[in-house]
Amino acid sequence: MHVLANEGLRDNAYLDRSTRQALLLAPELTTLKGTRGAVLARLGRHEEALAMLAEADDSNDAFRCFNAAFRALAHFHAGRKDQATAELEIATAILQSQDWTNSIGGRIVDGVIAEISRTLIEPRKNAGQPATVTRASAVI
């Protein structure tokens, strides 16, 4: 989980390989399906990510929060902005209701928001437009 929160620590090929292998060894672990779905979303394999996250463990608020955040990322990169916004709102609502904003959960959701923001801001920077984002709900 720590690796998913820190972009600089990610080795995408390693994460892809290790989560794929782990899932082959223990396909019944729904928490592992959530981790695999998160990795697939980060790798840009959005439909695979959404399919995996649909099978992920949603038994508690933490899992629901992370799964929603990575579904938001997958939907966003697949061009489904409304669905991405709805999922991101779910993730941030859970974070706020549990007061997890300064926890690893907050860092993971913030990482997803940052990834979406960078995608939106870079074209604006290159076009000479303002690139300021003032709140998470303004990201998408």
Span 95-111, pLDDT tens digits = 999 988 788 889 999 99
Counted domains in the chain: 1
Q: Is the per-residue pLDDT at 69 higher than 80?
A: yes
pLDDT per residue over 14-68, tens digit each? 999 999 999 999 999 999 999 999 999 999 999 999 999 999 999 999 999 999 9
pLDDT of residue 47: 97
Task: Look at residues 38, 84, 30 and name the one whose alpha carbon lies nearest to residue 58.
Answer: 30
| Domain at 90, CATH number | 1.25.40
pLDDT of residue 132: 46
Is pTM beyond 0.85? Reply is: no
pLDDT of residue 134: 42
> By percentage, how much of the chain surpasses pLDDT 90?
68
pLDDT of residue 123: 60
Q: Which pLDDT band, with edges at 50, 70 and 90, does 135 fall under? A: very low
pLDDT of residue 119: 83
Residue 115 structural domain? 2-138
Contacts 24+ apart (CB under 8 A), 62-67: 62/100, 62/105, 63/31, 63/34, 64/90, 64/94, 65/90, 65/91, 65/94, 65/95, 65/98, 65/100, 65/105, 65/109, 66/1, 66/34, 66/38, 66/91, 66/105, 66/108, 66/109, 67/34, 67/37
